[in-house]
């Protein structure tokens, strides 16, 4: 975890000193203030990454201090410390600009997770801003691609490098990973950006229509062809043609596509005139094209024409660093679209979202957040708003849900966490670095939790 410059604001001396000593032991630079007035004085003489701010203090209360901190330095993150049972104060604070809250009595493992999130958020914001600034210099915005991982940053950078070429690109990845968004980014970055990008979902078209859809047809070419029709290749002339689910193309269409890639011309269905088109092909698949080549269901010569540049988008479960940024993006979007008064998401709900495997990838996370926003009754999304909460809890407790009011929610969460850490260590052969990446944790946090749960590596 990156070292942070932290200001601890707490009127209780013993609590303040305990926090100070713990944070310094964890490698952070810490200053302390016993009141809001002292805190603001420190803000005028030093720059802080984070202010840990007790909400209830004599003199200036936490809300007043928060507002002044954000006025003095909007880039400083503020986390509110509040007593359990007064969550509404934390909600008000998040409305005023706090990034998160933590309840008393403080639990150090929860605090470490929170600091990890703050440090990661600050690092990613800085890295993303640098990359976006570089792309903006090329006249491109990347607002549609939300990420926080090095893997996606590398893919975005690669898109910038290959965009100016005429090379065909093959995007590989599971359904819902964002292949179309990456294709659009390549188009935006290319000299073709003023021309159209035309998208065809090859798997959504009936076999009898796909050739006509791609290449067009002449009047009378088949029953119902009452007039000449321009195909997608001609629509995309000068621009980009994005062929999604390329593995669904029939053999006859594969032959015509191969001829176009070789000669840059084609014929409409029912026609005999060669038509030229200046089109850059980007294709995408969630299937194993090499396996299909071996099976004889996909042409080998077409495969090598399509995969001149291959970009593989990892599933969301393999780039969990993207999840926090995606959560915040979808939350902001759906709150605005639905006119809801929601200011954030609870730490428990966020942690569970971080641990879920998302078989439907980014598309599934988007759906989960939209559903949660629509059904939420409170101003902070909670575990109750997540569709897989019951399954997760059942898995963590061997099939039984904790009874309402039995005080075992935290215990159930810890059981789930312990089980997931145990499974990650087993899958990676006790390799802590890979296990931490799989879980979306820092290695420091993983070591802490291995010790906490008595798991030996």
pLDDT of the residue at 454: 82
pLDDT of the residue at 405: 39
Tokens standing for residue 65: 């201090």
Confidence of residue 406 (pLDDT cuts 50, 70, 90): very low
Structural domains present in the chain: 5-127 (3.40.50.2300), 143-314 (3.40.50.300), 320-452 (1.10.8.60)
Most confident of 66-75, 265-274, 285-294: 285-294
Tokens standing for residue 288: 């194993």
Res. 254: pLDDT tops 90: yes
When mean pLDDT is compared across 3-12, 249-258, 359-368, 438-447, the lowest value belongs to: 438-447
Res. 392: pLDDT tops 80: no
Res. 393: pLDDT tops 70: no
Choose between 214 and 85: higher pLDDT: 214
Confidence of residue 135 (pLDDT cuts 50, 70, 90): low
Mean pLDDT value of segment 326-350: 90
Tokens standing for residue 79: 């986390």
Confidence of residue 140 (pLDDT cuts 50, 70, 90): low
Res. 441: pLDDT tops 80: no
Pairwise CA distance, residues 48 & 61, whole Å: 20
Res. 226: pLDDT tops 70: yes
Most confident of 104-108, 258-262, 401-405, 442-446: 258-262
Tokens standing for residue 456: 């030996």
Confidence of residue 401 (pLDDT cuts 50, 70, 90): very low
DSSP state of 401: P
Res. 308: pLDDT tops 90: yes
E runs forming strands in 208-273: 240-244, 265-266
When mean pLDDT is compared across 217-226, 278-287, 369-378, the lowest value belongs to: 217-226
Alpha carbon 203 to chain centroid, angstroms: 26
* pLDDT tens, residue by residue, 272-281: 888 999 999 9
Pairwise CA distance, residues 165 & 364, whole Å: 33
Choose between 139 and 377: higher pLDDT: 377
Tokens standing for residue 5: 């410059």
Choose between 44 and 438: higher pLDDT: 44
Q: Taking all residues of the chain, what is their mean pLDDT, rounded to a whole number?
A: 84
* pLDDT tens, residue by residue, 46-59: 789 999 999 888 88
pLDDT of the residue at 408: 47
* pLDDT tens, residue by residue, 327-338: 989 999 999 999
* CB of 159 closer than 8 Å to CB of 186: yes
Mean pLDDT value of segment 75-98: 76
pLDDT of the residue at 197: 95
Cβ neighbors of 107 (< 8 A, separation 6 or more) are none
Spatial CA neighbour of 58 closest among 37, 42, 43, 85: 37
Does the global pTM surpass 0.85? no
The percentage of the chain sitting over the pLDDT mark of 90, rounded to a whole number, equals 36
pLDDT of the residue at 273: 87
CA 429, 431, 434: angle at the middle one, nearest 5? 110
* CB of 174 closer than 8 Å to CB of 315: yes
The percentage of the chain sitting over the pLDDT mark of 70, rounded to a whole number, equals 87
* pLDDT tens, residue by residue, 192-207: 989 999 999 988 888 7
Choose between 312 and 450: higher pLDDT: 312
Mean pLDDT value of segment 95-103: 81
Cβ neighbors of 429 (< 8 A, separation 6 or more) are none
Choose between 141 and 305: higher pLDDT: 305
Res. 262: pLDDT tops 50: yes
pLDDT of the residue at 98: 84
């Amino acid at each position: 975890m990156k070292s942070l410059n932290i200001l601890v604001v707490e009127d209780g001396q013993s609590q303040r000193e305990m926090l100070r000593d713990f944070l310094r032991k964890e490698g952070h630079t810490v200053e302390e203030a016993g009141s809001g007035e002292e805190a603001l004085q420190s803000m005028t003489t030093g720059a802080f990454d984070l202010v840990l701010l007790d909400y209830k203090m004599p003199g200036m209360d936490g809300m007043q201090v928060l507002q002044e901190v954000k006025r003095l330095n909007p880039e400083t993150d503020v986390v509110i410390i509040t007593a359990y049972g007064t969550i509404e104060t934390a909600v008000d604070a998040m409305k005023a600009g706090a990034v998160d809250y933590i309840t008393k009595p403080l639990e150090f493992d929860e605090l470490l997770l929170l600091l990890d999130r703050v440090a990661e958020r600050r690092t990613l914001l800085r890295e993303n801003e640098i990359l976006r600034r570089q792309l903006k210099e090329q006249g491109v915005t990347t607002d549609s691609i939300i990420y926080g991982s090095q893997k996606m940053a590398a893919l975005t950078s690669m898109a910038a490098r290959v965009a100016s070429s005429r090379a065909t690109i093959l995007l590989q990845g599971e359904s819902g990973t964002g292949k179309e968004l990456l294709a659009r980014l390549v188009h935006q970055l290319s000299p073709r950006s003023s021309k159209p990008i035309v998208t065809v979902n090859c798997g959504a078209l009936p076999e009898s229509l796909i050739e006509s859809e791609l290449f067009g047809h002449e009047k009378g070419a088949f029953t119902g062809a009452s007039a000449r029709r321009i195909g997608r290749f001609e629509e995309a002339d000068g621009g980009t043609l994005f062929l999604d689910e390329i593995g669904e193309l029939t053999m006859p269409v594969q032959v015509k596509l191969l001829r176009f890639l070789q000669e840059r011309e084609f014929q409409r269905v029912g026609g005999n005139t060669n038509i030229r088109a200046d089109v850059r092909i980007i294709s995408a698949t969630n299937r194993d094209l090499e396996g299909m080549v071996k099976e004889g269901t996909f042409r080998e010569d077409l495969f090598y024409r399509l995969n001149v540049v291959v970009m593989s988008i990892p599933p969301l479960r393999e780039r969990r660093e993207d999840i926090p940024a995606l959560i915040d993006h979808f939350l902001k979007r759906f709150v605005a679209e639905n006119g809801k008064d929601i200011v954030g998401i609870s730490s428990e709900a966020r942690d569970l979202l971080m641990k879920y495997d998302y078989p439907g990838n980014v598309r599934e996370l988007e759906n989960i957040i939209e559903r949660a926003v629509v059904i939420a009754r409170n101003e902070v999304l909670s575990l109750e708003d997540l569709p897989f909460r019951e399954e997760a809890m059942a898995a963590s407790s061997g099939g039984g849900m904790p009874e309402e009011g039995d005080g075992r929610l935290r215990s159930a969460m810890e059981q789930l966490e312990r089980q997931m850490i145990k499974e990650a260590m087993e899958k990676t052969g006790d390799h802590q670095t890979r296990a931490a990446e799989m879980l979306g944790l820092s290695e420091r946090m993983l070591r802490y939790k291995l010790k906490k749960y008595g798991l030996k590596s």
